[in-house]
Every structure is written in structure tokens, then in C-alpha cells.
């Protein structure tokens, strides 16, 4: 592996069985303060705990702000942690039309949240679609990103490469093509099941948390969830054994970067992490987590929280 000037690469392998049952026990459901930020008439709901430097956490699909409950509890003594509901989800507004879920609007929502706290920048943390928003927020608003943390979503260059050359990743992305071509009313659109609050929440292990997810999805917009894919997910490129060049539309980053990846993820191949360090001029830390799946912030909650504390503390 080649290491470039001004760039440090750390690969951290965490051994052993990791489960949400080892997560921190306290819950922020009752202690969080709730509010809204306005982005040109679209209200974005957030839950916040703690005091200190601002940290904005962005969930993915299918999820809502509560995905970050363990990290919120574990970091609130040092940071003001703000977990948002992305537009279309839970208590945030749900504008009609696929065009209202364009990436430029999703990133503008994050900027509006930061400004609503009277700040010019924040630590940005994203998972899955929230990870895609986090990457693109750093591209579009680099001056507003103090640190960047992305979980189970490769850099766009890595994602495009694997969609081109990696047959396993291409097969794993079949669901995205179904979402792009289908409708929430299709009876088997969600991995062979209908898109309902109960099926969307089926991955949540804790029964109390699962019911909260069911309630959140009951007040979410399924068309909006699908619009993320229709508006922003890259079309499947023609298969090739030759990797495509990095996209000229993706700017080079220069921000301290931490990437987590649960290695049991069945949607996103870990090969997408390769060369992440080439696309960032600042230090890049990659944490590979055996035994954790796609929702690494819950599957390995305590480890993710502890690593965040260490990594952020080393960069103050």
C-alpha cells in the first residue's frame, strides 16, 4: 500500500463478536431536546443532547434520528450531538416530487441545521444514505466541515469502481435498481416484501426500539424514501474489468476523515474502501469491523462510540 504525503492510513481490525446487546444502556429518547431547522420552507426535525462542539449526525435508509441513540448518549458529555430526520422521514417535512430529494437539497438541509445553531461548521457524521449526504456535503460545503465520519458508504469514486468491476457489488445493488424502477406499492419491492412500517423496521433487534421505528416509519413517506434512489443513486454502468477513472465531478477532499465499515454488510462491498486515502489530502482512518453488518453504529455501538471519542479527541 502506498502512503502519500500528509496522509496517514490506519486499518483497525476489531476481533470478536459484536452485537447491539453490548451497547450503552442509557437511552436519549426521553432526554433529547427537539427542534426544527428551516431550509427554504422545508422543515428538518432534529433531536439534540449535550454541550460542546457541534456534531451533526445523518441517518440512512430505512432509519430516523434514533439510529444514533448510543452515540448520542456516549458523546453528549463532550459534544452537542444533533441527530436529524432527513426530509421524508419521521417528523421532518415530506415535500412531494422526486425532484425535492435531489442531493443538492439534502446537503442544503444539513447546512440549514448547522446555521440554525448559530454555527459556521460542524463535525459531520453520516451512515448509508446519510453517508452519501455527508460525502457530498463535504464536497459542496468544505468550509462547513471540521471533521468527516462516514459509516458503511464508500467514497463515490470507490462505489462507482465497484459497480463497474465487482460482480458481487453489482448483484448486491439489484435492490437499488428495483427501487429506481418501482413504486412503494409494489408488493415485493422491499427485498421480496411490501414496504410497510413493520417490514422496514424488521432489522431492528431491540423490541422497544423496533416499536419506535414502526411508529416513525408510519409517519414517514415511502415515495420520498424511494426518491432518494431515483434521484441520486448512480445508474448501473456497463460491466468492465477495467476500473473507471475517478469522476472529474468529485472534488478532492482535505478534511480529517474516519470511515467505519461493518464487514458483514450484504449491500456494500468492503472493496469500495480501497483508495479512499487517494481522494483525501488530510489524514484518513478506516475502521473495519468484523461481525457487524450494515448498521454498524448499532451492531457495534460501544466500539463505534469509543472510537469516535478517541479519534475526535486526538484532533482537537
Instruction: With CA atoms as reference, report the closest residue to 312 among 86, 52, 85, 70.
Output: 52
Q: Does the pTM exceed 0.85?
A: yes
pLDDT in tens, 240-283: 999 999 999 999 999 999 999 999 999 999 999 999 999 999 99
In 3D, which of 142, 162, 169 has the Cα closest to residue 257? 142
Average pLDDT of the residues of the chain: 92
The residues, any chain, with a CB within 8 Å of residue 175's CB and separated by 6 or more, are 191, 267
Reported as a pLDDT band with limits 50, 70 and 90, residue 22 is: very low
What pairs with residue 83 in β-bridges?
47, 57
- Arithmetic mean of pLDDT, 135-164: 98
* Preceding peptide of 60 cis, ω within 30°: no
As a whole number, mean pLDDT of residues 40-67 equals 98
Tell me the domains of the chain and their CATH numbers. 9-313 (3.40.50.1820)
pLDDT in tens, 179-213: 999 999 999 999 999 999 999 999 999 999 999 99
Sort 150 into a burial class: Cβ within 10 Å, 0-12 / 13-18 / 19+. buried
Residue identified by cell 463532550 is: 78
Question: What sign has the CA pseudo-torsion 50, 52, 56, 59?
Answer: negative
Give the rounded percent of residues in the chain with a pLDDT score beyond 90: 91
Average pLDDT of the segment spanning 52-58? 99
Look up residue 9 and give its three cell numbers.
Answer: 492510513
Label residue 119 by pLDDT band (50, 70, 90): very high
Amino acid at each position: 500500500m502506498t502512503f502519500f504525503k500528509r496522509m496517514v492510513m490506519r486499518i483497525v481490525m476489531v476481533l470478536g463478536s459484536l452485537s447491539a446487546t453490548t451497547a450503552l444502556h442509557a437511552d436519549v429518547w426521553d432526554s433529547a431536546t427537539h427542534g426544527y431547522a428551516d431550509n427554504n420552507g422545508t422543515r428538518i426535525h432534529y433531536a439534540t443532547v449535550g454541550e460542546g462542539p457541534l456534531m451533526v449526525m445523518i441517518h440512512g435508509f430505512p432509519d430516523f434520528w434514533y439510529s444514533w441513540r448510543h452515540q448520542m448518549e456516549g458523546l453528549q458529555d463532550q459534544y452537542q450531538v444533533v441527530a436529524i430526520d432527513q426530509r421524508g422521514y419521521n417528523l421532518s417535512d415530506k415535500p412531494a416530487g422526486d425532484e425535492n430529494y435531489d442531493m443538492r437539497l439534502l446537503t442544503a438541509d444539513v447546512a440549514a441545521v448547522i446555521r440554525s445553531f448559530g454555527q459556521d461548521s460542524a463535525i459531520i457524521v453520516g451512515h448509508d444514505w446519510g453517508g452519501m449526504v455527508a460525502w457530498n456535503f463535504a464536497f459542496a460545503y468544505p468550509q462547513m466541515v471540521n471533521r468527516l465520519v462516514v459509516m458503511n458508504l464508500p467514497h463515490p469514486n470507490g462505489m462507482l469502481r465497484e459497480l463497474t468491476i465487482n460482480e458481487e457489488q453489482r448483484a448486491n445493488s439489484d435492490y437499488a435498481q428495483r427501487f429506481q424502477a418501482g413504486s412503494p406499492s409494489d408488493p415485493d419491492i422491499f427485498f421480496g416484501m411490501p414496504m410497510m412500517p413493520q417490514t422496514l423496521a424488521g432489522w431492528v433487534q431491540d423490541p422497544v426500539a423496533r416499536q419506535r421505528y414502526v411508529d416513525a416509519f408510519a409517519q414517514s413517506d415511502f415515495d420520498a424514501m424511494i426518491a432518494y434512489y431515483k434521484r441520486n443513486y448512480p445508474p448501473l454502468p456497463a460491466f468492465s474489468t477495467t476500473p473507471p477513472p475517478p469522476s472529474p465531478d468529485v472534488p478532492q477532499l482535505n478534511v480529517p476523515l474516519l470511515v467505519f465499515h461493518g464487514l458483514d454488510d450484504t449491500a456494500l462491498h468492503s472493496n469500495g474502501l480501497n483508495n479512499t486515502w487517494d481522494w483525501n489530502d488530510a489524514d484518513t482512518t478506516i475502521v473495519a469491523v468484523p461481525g457487524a453488518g450494515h448498521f454498524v453504529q448499532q451492531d457495534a455501538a460501544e466500539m463505534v462510540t469509543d472510537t469516535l471519542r478517541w479519534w475526535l479527541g486526538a484532533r482537537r
